A and B are shown apart, each in its own frame.
Chain A
Amino acid sequence: MAWTREDMARRAAQELRDGFYVNLGIGIPTLVANFIPEGINVTLQSENGMLGMGPFPTEDEIDPDLINAGKQTITELDSTSYFSSADSFGMIRGGHIALSILGAMQVAENGDLANWMIPGKMVKGMGGAMDLVAGVKKVVVIMDHNARDGSAKFLKECTLPLTGVGVVDMIISDVGVFTIDDNGATLTELAQGVTVDEARQRTEANFKVAEDL
């Protein structure tokens, strides 16, 4: 019984601290907003120009001028402010955002991240991902531990074009939690029912295992 998408999002929410300004990426990271722990007050930044993102609107609250970075309709809060894309990335690049949670195609054991391009195949673009990983203080990746064909995504070295070099601080996957720092990667938590052996089989990267596992 490995972790589900919701389990991963719930675990990522444990990284939130009271008062944090946070940017959540598109996909599973967006779900983290549903699991913010009680008593923790965080402000969600949307890089298209909004601080203080509210929940999805009801049918009659829909406003085409109010979307998030995933182009989904959303709502504002009493605390909300709006600003230009230049100001938005000033916040990001300038180190004012505490935490970024995003998806990945590949992560390397030194924290390299690839999540924007498959040469010759997929041309979508990096959007704000390169700015986020370069400027935000802590970067957490949520991803399926393996690709659909079963191949490893947590690698010794990324084979896809990079989004950032040595930028990932933590990976939360269906297998468990890995932290990455100057000393390399460490498996710090296992998802229910997953063994260290299974984690090793499904991973190409070198990693240490935390003593309490």
Chain B
Amino acid sequence: MKKPYPEATSALEGVLFDGMTIMAGGFGLCGIPENLITALRDSGTQNITAISNNAGIDDFGLGLLLQTRQIKKMVSSYVGENKEFERQYLAKELELEFNPQGTLAERIRAGGAGIPGFYTKTGVGTLIAEGKEHKDFNGETYILETGLIADVSLVKAWKGDKEGNLIFRKTARNFNPMMATAGKITIAEVEELVETGELDPDQIHTPGIFVQRIIQSKDLEKRIEHRTTRKQGE
């Protein structure tokens, strides 16, 4: 089975269906699988449950799929950058499940590692804890959170090889490594797709076993949400 695909549209062929669950890597617009998100929008897949830390902004990232109403439900920790999201949610056009960011990350890590649930003290005594099993360990109360998996995970890496081994860059790593492990099918887009053997095995963040398809990104925008600078010499 060959993992490399020529581009995003063909990489998504045969794995999409209405009502599916998709994970998409990224923190804000940093480290998002841009090509794959655009191709997912163009596929017209409907009623998607999207698990992603954020919802993009109005006209970029997962915001593109909110514009076209392809997302039925979001599982996220923070959606404050997307006004269309807020509007759809307050108008009850969109379902939303807020997860604390660390709980979301750990649920995905657990899902990918075959761990169906774990206890955490995050959210005890808050809305997040309602309806969840509570258990005391060493005099402290914890709640049960469940592992998450997805029909398809879309991740973004810096470099990848034809075996699907991935290396991330700086804070663009974020949720991508866990999501790669938690997809029944994981599709990676990378800035540089190299021959097998060109990556140092000691530097690989995500081993290729977690990646079923891989493409090289084209025309990445890599938008910056808050361009914040200091003056030279400050």
Contact = CB atoms under 8 A, between A and B. Distances in A.
B30 A64 contact: yes
A71 interface: yes
Contact of B224 (A58, A62, A125, A162): A62
A57, A66, A130 interface centre (most CB from chain B within 10 Å): A130
Contact of B171 (A65, A125, A162, A163): A65
Given A71-B81, A93-B102, A162-B125, A85 B230 contact: no
Q: How large is the interface on A (under 10, 10 to 19, 20 to 34, 35 or more residues)?
A: 35 or more
Nearest to A166: B125
B109 A86 contact: yes
B31 interface: yes
B77 interface: yes
Given A50-B171, A125-B79, A131-B102, A71 B108 contact: no
Per DSSP, chain B at the interface is loop
Contact of B123 (A48, A65, A124, A134): A134
B229 A49 contact: no
A193 interface: no
Per DSSP, chain A at the interface is loop
Interface string A125-151: 111111100110000000000000000
Contacts of A92: 102
Contact of B127 (A63, A64, A84, A161): A161
B228 A56 contact: yes
A46 B122 contact: no
B226 A49 contact: no
Nearest to A46: B171
Interface stretch (B16-24, B40-48, B173-181, B210-218): B173-181
B171 A66 contact: yes
B77 A128 contact: yes
Interface in A149-191: 161-165
Contact of B126 (A83, A123, A130): A130
A88 interface: yes
Contacts of A47: 101-102
Given A56-B229, A85-B174, A162-B126, A126 B77 contact: yes
Contacts of B108: 86
Interface string A48-91: 11100001111100111111111111101000001111101110
Contacts of A161: 126-127
12 contacts: A64-B224, A67-B226, A72-B226, A73-B228, A82-B171, A84-B105, A86-B108, A90-B106, A120-B90, A125-B80, A135-B121, A164-B125
